[in-house]
Homo-oligomer: A and B are copies of this chain.
Amino acid sequence: MPITPARNTAVTAGRPARNGRCLPSGTMRTAGHGGHDVRRLRDILRAAVRGGSYPRGLLPSEATLMAAHGASRATVRAALALLRTEGLIERTQGVGTHAVVAPVETSLPEAHGVITPAHDSLFNQRMRPRELDRSVLPAPDTVARRLRIAPGTPCLRLEYVALHQDEPIAIATNYVLFPEADKLRDTPFVSDWYRLLADSGVALSDSEFVFDCEPADATLAAVLGIREGTPLMALEQLIYDLDGRPFDLAFIHTRGERFRFVSRGTSPTLS
């Protein structure tokens, strides 16, 4: 089958933006061919860097990248500049370009706490908590609604920074109802949340996440050791007991660049 030359349809051609309401006029012009080429190459290189595709994290030379992607030197440099701005790579004169950090991939079922973590999982004794708070307080309004209790019902707030290789990667605030709270109250917290639940003799059936993203505010930036405005994953988690009653609501902020969540869906007719 012959390869036709890439037909890079102009963004503006033939399809006028019908969403003028939210796009400032003239915006589409600035996102022309060059911008899309850079973004596409950035997406591909980002996936390679984040996925640990390059041995020892060392990226190929500009010339190699140009050849492998049919890209101009300007496009390669612009794509690398975006990754550097994002803090994912560093370029050192005479040494080359390398990935700053290899993120840990975590399967979503492990993050949900509903399966036994793999040997090399972040959820297999790889984390260490630094507790910020463990206190009993009346459940605030929204917390109460999500946990299906009356506002003011006592709950245990357990808040911690999750450390991985001594670096803060997440901060989580859990609101736990009684009687589970009583079991957690004095149990030593040694690695991750699910280990704490297990050590406290608390069983769970289901765990639900709502995924979102947010910019780090000053407090989160300070706690996580990152710049203000850095994108974070914001997760809300509800954990259910064996009777399907939610007993734990958590607000979790994770450093996206430190780990990635992997989720796999299988067609039910095939599984």
Contacts and interface: CB of A to CB of B under 8 A. Distances in A.
Contact of A264 (B206, B223, B257, B266): B206
Contacts of A108: 108, 263, 265
Contact of A27 (B109, B206, B225, B264): B225
A18 B136 CA distance: 27
Interface stretch (A91-99, A118-126, A208-216): A208-216
Copies of this chain present: 2
A173 interface: yes
A44 B142 contact: yes
Given A70-B138, A135-B8, A204 B262 contact: no
A151 interface: yes
A155 to B, nearest CB: 9
Interface of A: 1, 3-9, 11, 15, 17-19, 21-24, 27-28, 30-31, 35-36, 38-48, 50-51, 53, 68-70, 82, 85-86, 105, 108-109, 111-115, 130-138, 140-143, 145-146, 151, 154, 157, 159, 163, 166-168, 173, 178, 204-215, 217-220, 222-223, 225, 229-234, 236, 242, 251, 256-257, 260-268, 270
Given A9-B133, A27-B222, A112-B265, 9 more contacts: A22-B225, A36-B159, A39-B220, A46-B214, A206-B265, A209-B262, A212-B256, A212-B257, A231-B231
